[in-house]
């Protein structure tokens, strides 16, 4: 605060001062007035300075302005308002219908309207519903025959939990048959339908096989891509292989994203009608093999059934998106040998850009994935790319039963899984200050120094 100058002339105390010749009573009154005025001014000055320096913590009850400011502040801080997990009104919903069945055998009708009504009665779930995803996976109910099978499945599940935690997705792990006849690869359809009914707040149900894992923990599903033309089912595949090559491997049904809507309910009803619960199940295997000459086994399977429906009705392409622009799921035998080169490339990127190697909380990991994207424009996608593959799928390895495809040795499968799991785990452990120095050694970690992986100051 600037100290005021002391006036040299008494007349300077007041611009109204004129002659010093006054009667005594008036002079006393004037002096008293000046004294009180000066004291008041000093009080106002001190109070105003205090009001600027001390934070205001009190607001009058019922203040409209205060409520408006608080609401705006919460909107700025919280991109998606927290849902109210403790609120379920007594109003009637589809859950109160005695005819409701979660079974894959019982059709669901008017699901879009029922789901919309549920969201209306649970308004805290409405914001962000368009991007809400529930990942569903599972395995058998009994212990694995392969001695290391249960350990591997546990780590596969941990990998999915890590990914969902980082990106804010819910996850459901199922290890029982929800339909006694729909076993093996058909077991997923009853679970997916039940998950749709259990999660009306979610727009997407994402099935991921137990032997598939995330190997790019930063990458997030590009959901807007599938909204553009209102696609309801996303699978990794290629149109040419369906309609020209008529190949059983034209797509992979072990990983798929399906919208929680009536179209999906109807589609799964048709799809499952080729499965073991159908009275016509035995006829579908020969029909599928008559079209897809490279199909390896005689019985009807979910993948052949999906390809057959697409082959018979090309109009389904309006609703089904064949994702081939990135590894929505990728064949492990092609991917695992590339991990070392990918690690070296990403390390080089981080040495060049301090923003990428900056330590940060796990909750903000998505932002660093966005920071990395400009550096990956030349990396490519798919086979031959040095971008981290999104999902590595160990098709044919059968980690639980151990009955792997005979075209490769079992040790190749198990070592490949360990390497992939540690490759992904390093991306998670990095947020906790550690990494596996050797991708084939799961038990050893080293602490990452400040500014890792670059030693020099920047």
| Residue 15 confidence (pLDDT) | 35
Single out the residue of 215, 211, 204 nearest to residue 138, CA to CA. Answer: 211
Question: What six digits make up the tokens of 289?
Answer: 């093999």
pLDDT value of residue 50? 42
The pLDDT assigned to 38 comes to: 55
**Are the C-beta atoms of residues 128 and 122 closer than 8 Å to each other?**
no
Q: ∠ at Cα 161 (160, 167), nearest 5°?
A: 90
Q: Could you state, in order of their start, the residue ranges of all structural domains in the chain?
A: 106-327, 333-447
CA nearest to 166, candidates 119, 214, 198, 130: 214
Token output for 408: 């490769």
Check residue 72 and give its pLDDT: 44
Superfamily of domain 106-327: Spore Coat Polysaccharide Biosynthesis Protein SpsA; Chain A (3.90.550.10)
Please, what are the averages of pLDDT over each run of 10 residues along the chain (458 residues)? 37 35 40 49 46 36 41 43 88 96 96 97 94 96 95 98 97 96 96 98 98 97 93 97 96 98 98 97 97 94 97 97 95 96 95 93 93 92 90 95 86 96 97 96 95 67
List the strands of the sheet with 391-393, edge to edge. Answer: 212-214, 391-393, 330-331
Q: Are 221 and 257 in contact (CB under 8 A)?
A: yes
Q: Measure the CA angle with vertex 263, ends 136 and 255; round to 5°.
A: 30
């Amino acid at each position: 605060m600037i100290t005021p100058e002391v006036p040299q002339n008494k007349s300077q105390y007041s611009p109204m001062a004129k002659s010093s010749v006054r009667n005594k009573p008036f002079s006393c009154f004037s002096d008293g007035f000046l004294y009180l005025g000066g004291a008041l001014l000093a009080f106002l000055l001190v109070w105003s300075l205090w009001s600027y320096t001390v934070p205001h913590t009190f607001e009058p009850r019922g203040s409209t302005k205060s409520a408006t400011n608080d609401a705006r502040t919460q909107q700025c801080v919280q991109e998606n308002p927290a849902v109210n997990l403790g609120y379920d009104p007594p109003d009637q919903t589809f859950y109160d219908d005695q005819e409701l069945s979660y079974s894959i055998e019982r059709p669901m009708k008017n699901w879009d309207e029922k789901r919309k009504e549920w969201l209306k009665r649970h308004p805290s779930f409405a914001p962000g519903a368009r991007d809400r995803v529930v990942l569903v996976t599972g395995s058998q109910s009994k212990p694995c025959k392969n001695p290391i099978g249960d350990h591997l499945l546990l780590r596969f599940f941990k990998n999915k939990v890590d990914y969902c935690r980082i990106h804010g997705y819910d996850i459901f792990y199922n290890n029982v048959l929800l339909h006694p006849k729909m076993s093996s690869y058909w077991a997923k359809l009853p679970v997916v339908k039940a998950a749709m009914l259990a999660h009306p707040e979610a727009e997407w149900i994402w099935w991921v096989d137990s032997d598939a894992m995330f190997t790019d923990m930063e990458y997030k599903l590009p959901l807007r891509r599938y909204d553009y033309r209102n696609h309801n089912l996303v699978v990794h595949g290629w149109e040419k292989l369906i309609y020209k090559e008529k190949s059983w491997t034209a797509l992979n049904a072990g990983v798929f994203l399906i919208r929680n809507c009536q179209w999906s309910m109807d589609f799964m009803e048709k799809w499952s009608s080729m499965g073991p619960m159908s009275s016509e199940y035995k006829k579908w295997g020969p029909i599928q093999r008559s079209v897809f000459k490279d199909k390896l086994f005689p019985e009807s399977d979910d993948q052949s059934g999906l390809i057959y429906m697409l082959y018979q009705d090309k109009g389904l392409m309006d609703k089904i998106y064949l994702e081939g622009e990135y590894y929505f799921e990728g064949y492990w035998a092609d991917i695992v040998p590339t991990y070392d080169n990918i690690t070296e490339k990403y390390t080089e990127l981080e040495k060049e850009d301090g923003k990428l190697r900056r330590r940060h909380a796990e909750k903000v990991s998505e932002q660093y994935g966005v920071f990395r994207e400009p550096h990956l424009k030349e990396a490519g996608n798919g086979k031959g790319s040095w971008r981290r593959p999104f999902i590595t799928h160990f098709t044919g390895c059968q980690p639980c039963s151990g009955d792997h495809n005979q075209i490769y040795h079992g040790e190749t499968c198990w070592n490949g899984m360990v390497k992939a799991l540690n490759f992904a785990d390093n991306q998670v452990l990095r947020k906790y200050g550690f990494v596996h120095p050797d991708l084939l050694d799961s038990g050893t970690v080293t602490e990452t120094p400040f500014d890792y992986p670059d030693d020099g100051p920047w």
